[in-house]
Amino acid sequence: MSEHDHPHEPITSDSKPSYYEIMETAVRELLIGKGLITANEIRHQIEVLDSRTPALGARVVAKAWSDPTFRERLLADGRAACEELGITFYDDTQLIVLENTETVHNLIVCTLCSCYPRPVLGLPPDWYKAKPYRARAVSEPRKVLAEFGTIIPDDVEIRVSDSTAVIRYLVLPRRPQGTEGWSEDELAAIVTRDAMIGVIPVTVAERAAS
């Protein structure tokens, strides 16, 4: 991709509530007011969401790195493979797992709002929901990745997958060299949320930082 000198919006969160956040508040209050859902039911769902963290996704990645047959099942049907590990899904969304290789790097975005694999990663980071990321991840993914410190060689294809209300994506990062013989727990400890979105690789340096 050629260089150009026009300015870009930084990958940061918006200071004001987005259109979708305003609509969510309005719809929630309307549903409660009509008695279609209660505040307690909403709180329960929030508790379910809060119980989900990237540690669940890290377990999935570590299992796939350690078990080739599980990796095949994961790539064939991400949701079913996660359910093998006891990870439950609280909606009807599909989970497609995309594998990074020597020739392909995957990046996940939701261009419309912030659809995200919450059952395995929990709540999305603010930058994932920000308009600059949602727009620029599609139009100039190499530059966006570079801002996260990830330089992708020109001969490596970048595939950007756009999440929807019914389809979510999870990146299976490349296993770093030097981790041969590691246990699944040791491997899971170096897998980060951002690596499973596709903005950074997994490195053994994460082990020392944890």
What amino acid positions are annotated as catalytic residues? 110, 113-115
Segments in the chain forming alpha helices (H): 19-33, 39-50, 54-66, 68-76, 78-84, 118-121, 126-129, 131-139, 141-147, 184-188, 193-197, 205-209
Distances 4 to 1, 7, 149 between C-alpha atoms, Å: 9, 9, 19
Three-class HEC string of 133-169: HHHHHHHCHHHHHHHCCCCCCCCCEEEEEECCCCEEE
Nearest alpha-carbon partner for 112 in 138, 134, 83:
134
Give the integer Cα–Cα distance in Å for 3 and 21: 35
SS3 4: coil
